[in-house]
Chain A
Amino acid sequence: MKTFCSVWLLLSLVELSPAPPASQEPPLACTGAPDPAPPQPETAEDMASTGDLEPTHYPARRAAQVALHYLNTHHGSPFRVFGLQQVHKASAEDVGAGGRKYKLDFSVTDWGSGSAGPALRCSADVLFPRTERHSAPEVQLHCEALHQINSTAQEDDAFYQKYISPDSAVSARDIPDSFGNMSEEMQPFWRLARVAASFIMLRESSENTEFNMAKVASVTQQESREEQLMLEFVVLLHDFPSQEIVQWKLLASWSPDRGVRVLQTEWQPRCPHATKPPN
């Protein structure tokens, strides 16, 4: 018994780690600017030029990403999210009233069908208005064979039936987790979050941003309304030029018939110690 006590004491001494230095404690207040406006425009030479753009350079890619957000808001679902494969051709011109219009020829793939999925060819006009206050870009998009790709109707219906029941109350955090893991059950919710986030990303985009969804911080199912699945998401967006992580809370509805609709969005300051976003 005595040896047991000394061993236990020894072990507990060994396991005690020093308190983390002050620099490691999360800040008392929240980080992040109060204004979620996009970063200052830089003196980027590419964007001043009119005419053909290099497809591998960022101005064309950013515009294509905007078109992709638009595509996902219209055609995304729990079993379909599109990703940019590559830009084939791009050009830009200044238009009246201080806007800039990009013409794009690009390919997308469905992330839902893995890397084996076929690529869809799309063309789009993306107009970035250059106004005092930020306003959303305008997109006109056409993708070949959009309605010919494999329908996900069966999976959509099965998913809908499973979660529309009154006692369904899905609640999860960190999708994916630190290691990129995501359960199969969570995948459709992750895609729905991505589609819903696309509404925000589309709205917030400018020539100086390049948004992507980094992760889903949380999903909380709300009471179904009008036969729609109601989901409250907290999503984290990553802006490539500034490298900032931007947090949004949103309320989205979905059904196989009506698709994704975003009902409320709320920008959130990033607080490390908050487990729930502030009201």
Chain B
Amino acid sequence: MRLYLAVFALLAAVHCEELFNGDQVLRIHAESENHIQILKKLERDVDSGLDFWTHAVSTEQPVDIRVPHSSLYALKDFLKKNNIPFTVIINNVQEHLVREREEMVRNAKMESKTKSFNFAAYHDLETIYNFMDTLVASHSNLITKVNIGSTYENRPMYVLKFSTGGEQRPAIWIDAGIHAREWISHATAVWLADRIATDFKENRAPVPSILSQMDIYLMIVANPDGYVFTHRSPNEFYRLWRKSRSATSNPKCHGVDLNRNWDAEFGGPGASDDPCAEDYRGPSAQSEIEVKNIADFIMSHGNFKSFMTLHSYKQLLMYPYGYSGTDAPDRTELHDVATKASKALNSWHGTVYKVGSIFHTIDQASGTSVDWAYLRGIKYSFAFALRDTGEYGFLLPADQIVSTARETWFALRYIMKYVCDHPY
């Protein structure tokens, strides 16, 4: 139908401006075999000028007719006299065509915006937020943008929700950028958002089947204040900023390490109580509004089955615990999943990731998001430390963004499929 109208729109635009002005499309609901015969006779009358878009076949299917303006009164009168019910489904075909054409042009512009979006570059917050809006507009049947609260400096925190429907479906959480200087994580998440949308649209497995059963929530920038701060200047004080931007008890030092502020063994070793430290845990668990917003959102949703967070650098794929060296109860399964995911990642470009618990691969860390999620019953909780292993570290060249994102996608896709296949 859309194509039909599209062709009309083009023809109208090319040849005549007002070919269908005042015409209406009526939907006829035939209720008896007699009605069907009347409609069939009407259709056979080629001089009537009636344009049957669907044909009278049975009382099960409505019949749509485009009626030229000049014939409207006569036909409606005829239908009423024969007690054939009808409704007007297009009030003015010309107007409708114009609106359709405008929407097509808008969509084409949107699509070319996302198609022309430069994924191989680092973008500032405003550009990323605009990208989100463009993506949502291009995939409005799949993606919505959820505002889960504001940051310390009053910026909105957005999550992209990928859903094909249902009520509170089991869900997967992915966040990036909780540490501001880890730019490759935001850039990867931007690419992932587009990739998930495209895979769904082009019916590429396993995305449609995952989305038929689960929702995906993707937070591209979990620490907007910090991210904006890293763009203020190439000076390392700004560019290498890690934390949030909240005021602390020390007027000379700002910010809390958002990945030490979660209510998971908060206060334990593996975080600092010095406001000037990079891993300052904050005055209390969830004292940071950014952490509170995410935690509250996930808890009130109540049906998350997987929690994954993107960081850099070091090329590691980790699972709980961070706060302790003892094995998590699901350690064997998590290690197996992570190992297979890292193999999938490696298959793309040969990049080698090491797998293990946070405690053993990086160091003891308390108040981390992955521990929090796991302790809240979200079994499949993982932390990625993306490229590289130290050559460029936080300053990963932009020409590595797409290959990093793609290999990360291989791992994430494996994990998401696993989660989907192993409901609990």
Residues of A within 8 A of B (CB): 21, 23-24, 26-29, 31-33, 42-46, 54, 56-58, 83-86, 111, 115, 173-174, 176-182, 212-215, 217, 236, 238, 240-245, 247, 270-272
Contacts and interface: CB of A to CB of B under 8 A. Distances in A.
B277 A58 contact: no
A180 B398 CA distance: 7
Contacts of B362: 58, 240-241
A239 to B, nearest CB: 9
A84 B389 contact: yes
A23 to B, nearest CB: 5
Contacts of B247: 23
A23 B232 CA distance: 14
Contact of A31 (B246, B272, B276, B390): B276
A176 B397 CA distance: 9
A46 B400 CA distance: 34
Contacts of A21: 153
A244 to B, nearest CB: 5
A243 B279 contact: yes
A213 B352 CA distance: 21
B392 interface: yes
Interface residues of B, number: 54
Contacts of A86: 352, 354
Top 4 nearest A-B pairs by Cβ distance?
A180-B397, A272-B237, A243-B278, A27-B252
A247 B235 CA distance: 12
A58 B365 CA distance: 13
Given A23-B247, A44-B363, A46-B325, A242 B234 contact: no
Contact of A56 (B242, B272, B355, B390): B355
Nearest to B259: A243
B273 to A, nearest CB: 12
B154 to A, nearest CB: 9
A245 B390 contact: no
B254 interface: yes
5 contacts: A27-B253, A42-B364, A85-B352, A173-B234, A178-B230
B276 A177 contact: no
Contact of A83 (B269, B350, B389): B389
B406 to A, nearest CB: 16
Contacts of B251: 27
Nearest to B237: A272
B239 interface: yes
Nearest to B394: A214
A245 B270 contact: no
B242 A243 contact: yes
Interface in B242-265: 242, 245-247, 251-254, 257
A140 B350 CA distance: 31
Contacts of B391: 83, 111
A236 B181 CA distance: 14
Contacts of B148: none
B384 to A, nearest CB: 15
B396 A245 contact: no
Interface in B334-355: 350, 352, 354-355
A71 to B, nearest CB: 14
A215 B395 contact: yes
A212 B257 CA distance: 20
A13 B63 CA distance: 58
Given A31-B276, A45-B325, A58 B397 contact: no
Given A179-B395, A179-B398, A242-B277, 9 more contacts: A23-B246, A24-B229, A31-B253, A46-B360, A83-B390, A215-B236, A243-B242, A244-B277, A245-B278
B356 A56 contact: yes
Nearest to A29: B252
B156 interface: no
B278 A28 contact: no
A242 B276 CA distance: 12
